[in-house]
């Protein structure tokens, strides 16, 4: 037996794919652990402040099958999702969060050099997943604020023979608004490729593109239980795909759909507790509108219309980052999008929390804006 060479060096980074080195990294919101002790107000990740439904809590409390693998095809979960959406289970594929479903979609469609069309500002994970496959993201920017309109004709004009997918987030993150339904349908009707509509916030909007799947064979709809069902930590997302695409979708979907048995139990129980969840949605929407009114009463502050569980808020500053950092230093965490290409560097995004959390946020924001004005 040959002894291992002492002092031998190997550059293990030499084998890293160039696409990985070149990919834009999605930077999630972070809590500064050096911020003040005590209760933090976490309004940076669009999570539900109320957590899962009573049935989901009970299902998790009773769950004890951690020694068993989940169902290979996630059949129980997909049947529950079918009942919830009114779509056959055979057209549903689940994943460990919507990011997982999106990643499967990229594996399904994107080869190096292929294109995916998006409209910025939008969900930052899209670019990362496209780049990881060696693909190219083509940005057709949204119109100027406050409308942030979807430019359907420009999207269709941007499609080339290398375009594999058009991705539309509706309601959009981070702007919070719904697009004109006619514009979305124009893209679907005119695109010679798959169009995926990310409806992560559809329950808050009370609207969905799902009925159009009966008319357009190139439409898929992506959803999650993270937001409206309070299951962000359980990681359950799903996609509803054209029937003709399902055999290939299953080829790229990992065993068990990557969804754990505990997450399945929580998700199925949640979907049996829809009346409770609708009450939570109504409460969050009402609190969102009250928060928007309170923000609009602050000098120079402009909350944009929202159909989600968050608000994009323009501040009377050129760059909102110092204000966001000031808020974090006082235990209140919101989101900032610094990339100047997005055109929202003067904004923060705040998730809808509890009324008590809103009161702390508003007080901290008044103080932070006062300090920013004094320092100007």
| Residue ranges per structural domain of the chain | 28-50+275-375, 54-272
CA angle 291-293-294, nearest 5°?
Answer: 65
Confidence band, pLDDT 50/70/90 cuts, at residue 15: confident
**Residue 33 pLDDT exceeds 60:** no
Q: CB-side exposure of 339: number of CA atoms within 13 Å?
A: 12
Distance CA 111, CA 272 (A): 40
102-144 residue pLDDT tens:
999 999 999 999 999 999 999 999 999 999 999 999 999 999 9
Within 8 A by CB and 6+ apart from 205, the residues are 171, 178, 307, 308
What topology does CATH give the domain 54-272?
3.40.640
Q: Residue 160: what pLDDT?
A: 98
Residue positions counted in the chain: 376
d(CA 123, CA 167): 10
What is the per-residue pLDDT across 348-358, written as a single tens digit (0 to 9) for each? Answer: 999 999 999 99
Residue 7 is predicted with a pLDDT of 66
**Structure confidence at residue 207 (pLDDT):** 96
pLDDT computed for residue 238 by the predictor: 98
Rounded Cα distance between 67 and 65, Å, is 5
Strand order in the sheet with 163-169: 92-95, 237-240, 219-224, 194-198, 163-169, 115-118, 136-139
CA–CA distance, 194 with 281 (Å, rounded to integer): 31
Closest among 222, 225, 227, 215 to 249, alpha carbons compared:
222
Contact in structure between 149 and 129 (CB atoms under 8 Å): no
pTM across the whole model? 0.91
| Distance (Å, whole) CA 236 – CA 229 | 10
The yes or no reply on domain 28-50+275-375 and CATH 3.90.1150.10 is: yes
The pLDDT-based confidence of 240 (bands split at 50, 70, 90) is very high
Q: Tell me which residue has tokens 């375009």.
A: 163
Nearest to 85 by CA among 251, 199, 246, 167: 199
């Amino acid at each position: 037996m040959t002894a291992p060479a002492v002092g031998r060096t190997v550059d293990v980074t030499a084998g890293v794919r160039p696409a990985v080195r070149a990919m834009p990294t999605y930077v999630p919101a972070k809590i500064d652990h050096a911020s003040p002790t005590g209760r933090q107000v976490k309004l940076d990740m669009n999570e539900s402040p109320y957590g899962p439904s009573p049935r989901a809590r009970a299902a998790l409390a009773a769950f004890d099958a951690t020694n068993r693998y989940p169902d290979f095809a996630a059949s129980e979960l997909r049947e529950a999702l079918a009942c919830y959406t009114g779509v056959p289970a055979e057209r549903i594929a689940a994943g460990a969060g919507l990011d997982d479903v999106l990643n499967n979609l990229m594996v399904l469609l994107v080869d190096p050099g292929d294109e995916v069309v998006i409209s910025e500002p939008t969900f930052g994970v899209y670019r990362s997943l496209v780049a990881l496959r060696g693909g190219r993201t083509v940005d057709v920017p949204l119109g100027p604020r406050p409308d942030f309109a979807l430019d359907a004709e420009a999207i269709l004009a941007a499609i080339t023979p290398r375009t594999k997918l058009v991705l539309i987030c509706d309601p959009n993150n981070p702007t919070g608004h719904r697009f004109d339904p006619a514009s979305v349908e124009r893209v679907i009707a005119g695109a010679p490729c798959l169009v995926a509509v990310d409806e992560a916030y559809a329950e808050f909007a009370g609207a969905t593109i799902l009925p159009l799947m009966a008319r357009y064979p190139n439409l898929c709809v992506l959803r999650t239980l993270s937001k409206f069902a309070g299951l962000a930590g359980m990681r359950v997302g799903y996609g509803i795909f054209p029937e003709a695409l399902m055999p290939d979708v299953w080829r790229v979907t990992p065993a068990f759909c990557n969804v754990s048995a505990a997450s399945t139990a929580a998700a199925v129980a949640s979907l049996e507790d829809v009346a409770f969840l609708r009450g939570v949605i109504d409460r969050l929407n009402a609190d969102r509108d009250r928060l928007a009114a309170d923000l609009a009463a602050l000098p120079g502050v402009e909350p944009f219309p929202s159909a989600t569980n968050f608000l994009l808020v323009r501040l009377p500053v050129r760059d909102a980052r110092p204000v966001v950092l000031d808020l974090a230093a006082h235990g209140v965490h919101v989101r900032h999008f610094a990339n100047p290409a997005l055109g929202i560097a003067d904004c923060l995004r705040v998730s809808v929390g509890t009324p008590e959390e809103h009161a702390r946020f508003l007080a901290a924001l008044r103080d932070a804006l006062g300090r920013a004005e004094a320092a100007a």
